Amino acid sequence: MGNTTSCCVSSSPKLRRNAHSRLESYRPEADLSREDTGCNLQHISDRENIDDLNMEFNPSDHPRASTIFLSKSQTDVREKRKSLYINHHPPGQLRRKYSSCSTIFIDDSTVSQPNLKYTIKCVALAIYYHIKNRDTDGRMLLDIFDENLHPLSKSEVPPDYDKHDPEQKQIYRFVRTLFSAAQLTAECAIVTLVYLERLLTYAEIDICPANWKRIVLGAILLASKVWDDQAVWNVDYCQILKDITVEDMNELERQFLELLQFNINVPSSVYAKYYFDLRSLAEANNLSFPLEPLSRDRAYKLEAISRLCEDKYKDFRKSAKKRNSFTLSTRKQQIGCLEEETKM
């Protein structure tokens, strides 16, 4: 509380506030503008514009920036399509279902209620591409995520633990075990991926065979506490991973938060972008969400939901019209009062 920089002034991860800046003493002249007073405090709208410019290339903060996992998967997807084209194997056309006049196929996954099993599969696939197509520019490996220094089990870590990339199935089994034991939701899996990419961007590190388990564990730990109302405690993860200590979990959470600069906010636009990019990743890798024929009962439910949304929209429009008419009449009264005062 005694620092010269106020804790209420937020800064972008890429934009640091000058440590030597000072606020000049207050001058009571009423005619002076903010620029004349030499005050370094910015209006909140100015700070948001600056953050938008600096966060434009950070997908975990900006909805218009493309996700990292989708861009990393493009190379492999193009190679798969090229190989299938050369060998004359159409990609997944035999398993794909198409709607007709008599039958409509839909999946049970939506942006508000994703399918848990296939969402975890997509997240595991995204992590797999992160590891496989990681940058090899010699980025640092933080000790808190090094599995050799902080093993998750008592079994001896092999000497070449950092040489072999994990398979997608291994990543999926690890994530599925945590989600099944902790009873986490599919939305939590999407937020986990957001935190993972935010960590890689903020801390400027890469996920690799030596640290992927602890990075994923830290992201799941944080996402479960932020997203779920009944969060899983750190001691509960010690029951899932038998050989890990509570002190290690606490330190992992603390350093993960510090590397995120305590930015745990996930806007709805960013969440939706990650959801639809995961669906695009699944489609490109023939990991389609399960399609089932539209039954009569489900058609009735969809119709009821659409009617409910339509009624809510009508009520919203009515209330908006009332507010507009009220403000218009109020302005007319104010203009009338001003005209009477000028006449007097």
8 Å CB contact between 244 and 281: no
| Banded pLDDT at 15 (limits 50, 70, 90) | very low
Beta-carbon-side half-sphere exposure of residue 96 (alpha carbons within 13 Å): 12
Radius of gyration of the chain (CA): 26
- How high is the pLDDT of residue 232? 84
Separation between Cα atoms, residue 154 and residue 224, nearest integer Å = 26
Interval 274-305: pLDDT, tens: 999 999 999 888 887 767 777 788 778 778 87
What percent of the chain stands above pLDDT 90? 35
299 or 188, higher pLDDT: 188
Stretch 260-285: mean pLDDT: 93
Interval 210-224: pLDDT, tens: 999 999 999 999 999
Q: What are phi and psi of 101, to 5 degrees?
A: -65, -30
Amino acid at 27: R
Written as six digits, the tokens of 33 are 């503008």
Amino acid at 310: E
The CA–CA distances, whole Å, from 307 to 106, 110, 237, 314 equal: 19, 18, 43, 10
Interval 37-54: pLDDT, tens: 444 544 444 444 434 445
- How high is the pLDDT of residue 81? 55
Estimate the crossing angle of helix 268-284 against helix 186-202, to 10 degrees: 100
